Every structure is written in C-alpha cells, then in structure tokens.
Structure 1
Amino acid sequence: MTQMNYTGKSRVAIIANGKYQSKRIASKIFSALKHDPNFYLSKDNPDIVISIGGDGMLLSVFHMYEKALDKVRFVGIHTGHLGFYTDYRDFEVDEFLKNLRLDRGEKISYPLLRVTVTTADGRIVTARALNEASLRRIEKTMVADVAINGTQLERFRGDGITVSTPTGSTAYNKSIGGAVLHPTVEAFQMTEIASLNNRVYRTLGSSIIIPKGETVTIEPKRVGSYTVSIDNKSFSYRNVAKMEFFLDDKKISFLSTPSHIGFWERVKDAFIGEVDE
C-alpha cells in the first residue's frame, strides 16, 4: 500500500456534538473542504481542530488533543448562544470558511492550569484544566490548610475551593464571587466556595490572583470522600492527602482570524448586553 504525501496541506479535524444543528454544520464544512487541495480532513494528528457546539464541546475537544498542544490550534463554531471559546455562530459558516482559507498560521494563546492530586495511599494523578479545577468534601464541611509557595495562608472551612485559569474566570469562578481575569494574563485564581467565617473560624474570603511560577497547595485535614472536578469531569477519591495547582508550561492556542472576538466584547455580550445611552 502506497502512503500518500499530504505535505503542505493543513490537517483539519471536524468534531461536533450530538445536536442536529451541529451535525448539519459539520457536514457543510466537510463538504466544503473535502476537495480543497489545501486541506486534508482527519481526526488523527490534526493541525486545526474545529469544535462545533458550545463551550462544553470545546472543553471536551481540548482534552482529546491536550497532548498535542504544541501543534494544534482550535476554533469554535457555536450552535447555541454566544460562548467564550467560540468565534463564529452557526449562520457564519461561509465567513468562517473564507477566513480559514486565508489562514497563515497565526494564533492566540491562553494559559492552562496544571493540577496534581495525591491520595492518602500515595497515588498521584496529574491533569490539565482549561477552565478550572475544584476540591470538595462530599459528606461534611471540608477542612483544609491552604498554602501558597509553602507559606500557609489559612485553614479553610466550607464547601470547597476552586482554582481557575483566566479564561475560566468567567465560568463557575465568577458565579461564586471571583474576579474576571483577562486570558492573556499569566496568572490563575483561587476562590473559596461557601467558606465559614465567624468569631471562631476565619478565612481571607476574597478570591486571590496568583502569578505564574507560584503553587497553591490544599491539604485536607479530615478523612472522607472528596470530589475533584477538572473542567467538565468529576472524580471521587477517598482520603485526599493534597491537591496542588500551578500554571502549566503549555498553552492552548486558538486560530487568529479577522473574526476573533475580543475578550471584553465577550464579557459584555455574555453578562451585560446592550448598554443604555
């Protein structure tokens, strides 16, 4: 069997969620690119990944290709409401195809979070997060020592703690009172989830912005079952010894096109809408 040479072509993966509209858009893009001499359609080892659906779909696609971040660039087409990771709506496919054919390899890169979970029996699990990672105790109040770069900050009591990337700052982090952080900032954010603050127990209470190069360590002080959430996936562990967070040395890269939507415009559209004159 002769191996075909696709040198010079961009390898493109088209991945859609199960909704009818997403599948329809995927079919349209596939038909437009399958005979284009500049593209080779394949989900194996792609240069460009087209995510069709919503932000949740792009999170899933990111984790599919997170081991190829040095090569792959992502682009999202939204088939619902405007999302933070999508530059195009479902009625802008023709514009997307036009810009894709004009692509010269430009990219926009955002920081990722590196997470390490150490269980009481010595097992170590590592993962990357595009949005956020959280630790919660399932049965009762979580009690945990929180340290930054080895300096103990507080003994936390409450429902849990979430740590987010700049892009993830507009997700769950914002809903529990965290700050909105521009995605080009080399930092990450820790926010408490329903902390107990009274005459006996005190925590800082506000979200904390941590710069690149520093590490947040959470050490639970009580045995029990814990839930670790990393983006759109959750895992249960018995007796977590510690959980560490720091900025990863890899970044996620998106296609830079004329239609790339600026971050503050996304924030305005998602949370504010039209501003009264």
Structure 2
Amino acid sequence: MRVGIVSNDSEKSVALVKQFRETALQAGLTLDNKNPDVVVTVGGDGTLLSAFHRYAHLLNQVRFVGVHTGHLGFYTDWRDYEIEELVQSLVRDKGESVSYPLLDVSAIYQGRKEPAHFLALNESTIKRLDGTMVCDVYIKDEFFERFRGDGMCISTPTGSTGYNKSVGGAVIHPRINALQIAEIASINNRVFRTLSSPMIIPTDEWLTLRPVTSEGFVLTIDHLTSSEKNIVELSYRVAKERIHFARYRHTHFWNRVEAGFIGANKQNDL
C-alpha cells in the first residue's frame, strides 16, 4: 500500500501529518506522493479539492481519504483524533471504494484548433468582468435560450451543495449521474426572458454556452480561477472519469447535508 499525503498549512494540520507519517511507517505502510494507491488529505474540503487536481491524471488508480481538522466537510470522513483507526483501516484495505461523477469542461478559443479540457469535482462558473454576460445556451446542440445576467454555474451532484445551492440550485444525490446548470442573477423582463430555473442534464446529454462577446470573462474550475479571452464556446458534460474514495466507513449523503446546513439549529427547534 503506497500512501500519499496532501495537507493545508495550518498548525493543526501540520502536526497531524507528522503524527500520521509516524503511525503509518510503524504500521508498515509506504509513503509515496508520486505514485500513490491512496491519497490522504488533512485539512478540509478545499484541501481535498487541491489533491484531486494534483492527481487528476491518476484517477483510475488513486482513491482518496479525507481527514478534517476544522468543520465537517462533504468529502472528509475522519476526525483528527482518529489517526490510529485510519492507519489500521489502510493496513486492512481490501479495495473498498465509492465513486462520484465529475464535470468535463471543454473550452474552444479563437485561433486554436483543439479545445482545452478540464475536470471539476464541484463546479465550473463563467462570469463577465465588466458587464452583463450574454450567451446562447444549447442542449445537445439544440438552441434553448439566450441568457443575460451575471453568469452561469454548472455543478456536479457533490458540488450541488456548494456555490450551486447559494444561487438557488437543487441538492442532488451523488448516485445520480447528472450535471446541473443554475443561472446567476439572470435578467428577466418583458424584453429578455430565460427559464430562470436550475436545470438537471442527464449523462447522455450535454450543455453548450456560446458567448455573444468573446472577451472579459472569468472562468472557474472548482477553486481555480482564470481570466479568459477569445472564448468561442464552452461545453459541459458528465465526465467519463470518476473520483474514487476509499470508504472504510460511509456517512450517508443526506446526513452530511443535514449536519452541514441544519445541524444544531434543528435540535434547538425541537
């Protein structure tokens, strides 16, 4: 068993990584950040996102395990005081895993023959820097609407609890292979109309955005942000690749949602 470690730089995480390294070596595990079988992240969901993009080229062989040192995350199953139990689970590993859908993002630029491809674990957004974004929306290459507003958020099921939820999108169970598009502050009046509702796109369909203006955009892929010029088209679909988690224990998705968004408030209401 080759184990890689990715952590944030908080004092608590750094101390926990030291403890994990010592315990793992004593248990006979091999620490290998270049070609791991399992990647253990120490921090939070942001740390796991960073690890995902770092090992995106190894998704067919790598499984992820998250240890959270702050608030409970949607991708982190282990607490900071459970290092010995985690190491023993790694020692007894039998290949247990659960996989989640990813988002495939394809960008076509003026003057480039081949599109650029990206993978997102949570979501991708597209916004204009200096005014209203206007773009034509196609589903399976058929025109659907002309959007006007601040931007669009396209998310995976696991990402549906993030930015997507804050702009009015639905929370989707990760066993559903789909992507979701949610409008960000769309303009709707007697002249300009959009559906003004989130849409869930199945795995055998795809979404295409064709901006009317090709300049002045900000494109995000999870936590990564870039200013974009000369964008002709953006396409989104459920990726062929999936992320795999080494789940020696499994917290039910709706329990995660309840803990993340209701939790103590629900108890106080009883």
- Normalised TM-score (structure 1): 0.93
Aligned pairs for 1:89-100 (under 5 A) are 89-100=79-90
- Corresponding residue for 2:149? 158
Deviations 1:175-226 (A, max 9, x none): 0000000011111100110000011100001100000021100000024211
Q: Deviations over 1:10-57 (max 9, x none)?
A: 0000111100100111111100111323x2111011000000011111
Indicate the residue corresponding to 1:253 in structure 2: 244
Once residues 95 and 232 of structure 1 are traced to their aligned partners in structure 2, the CA distance between those partners, rounded to angstroms, is: 31
Distance 1:105 1:265 in 2: 24
Q: Which of residues 156, 170, 179 in structure 2 aligns to 1:188?
A: 179
Deviates more, 1:175-184 or 1:266-275: 266-275
CA distance in 2, matches of 1:92, 1:219: 48
- Distance in 2 between residues matched to 1:132 and 1:71, nearest whole Å: 23
Partners of 1:182 and 1:223 in 2: CA distance: 35
Q: What code does the residue aligned with 2:157 have?
A: P
Q: Return 235-244 or 152-161, whichever deviates more.
A: 235-244
Q: Does 1:59 align with 2:49?
A: yes
Letter in 2 for 1:217: T
1:70 aligns with 60
Equivalent position SS for 1:91: coil
Aligned to 2:71: 81
Quote the offset at 1:253 in angstroms. 0.3
Match of 1:118 in 2: 108
Runs of 4+ residues over 4 Å off in structure 1: none
Amino acid at match of 1:92: E
Matched, 1:230 2:216: no
CA distance in 1, matches of 2:90, 2:217: 44
Residue 204 of structure 1: aligned partner: 195
Following TM superposition, by how much is the alpha carbon of 1:235 offset from its aligned partner in structure 2, in angstroms? 1.0
Structure 1 residues 42 and 150: CA distance shift in structure 2, 3 A: same
Question: 2:263: which partner in 1?
Answer: 273
Deviations 1:65-115, CA, capped at 9 Å, x for gaps:
011111100000001100011001212223322322222111000000000
Q: Is the 8 A contact 2:5 2:41 kept in 1?
A: yes
CA distance in 1, matches of 2:86, 2:214: 52
Q: Counterpart of 1:67 in 2: which secondary structure?
A: helix
Structure 1 counterpart SS, 2:160: helix
Separation (CA, whole Å) in 2 of partners of 1:99 and 1:68 = 22
1:117-176, CA deviations, whole angstroms, 9 ceiling, x for partnerless residues? Answer: 112233621100000011111111000000000111100000000100000000000000
Look up the equivalent residue of 2:241 and give its one-letter code.
K
CA contact (8 A) 2:27 2:91 kept: no
Cα separation, 1, equivalents of 2:93 and 2:209: 43
Aligned partners of 2:45 and 2:75 also within 8 Å:
yes
TM-score, structure 2 normalization: 0.96
Q: For 1:26-41, what aligned pairs fall within 5 Å after superposition?
A: 26-37=17-28, 39-41=29-31
Partners in 2 of 1:219 and 1:262 — Cα distance?
38
Give me the whole-angstrom Cα distance separating, in 2, the residues matched to 1:189 and 1:129.
13
Asked if the contact 1:119/1:237 (under 8 Å) is kept, the reply is no
Secondary structure of the structure 2 residue equivalent to 1:181: coil
1:240 paired residue number: 231
C-alpha separation between the residues in 1 aligned to 2:175 and 2:147? 30
Name the aligned partner's letter for residue 177 of structure 2. E
Q: Could you list the runs of 5+ residues in structure 1 that have no partner in the other structure?
A: 1-9
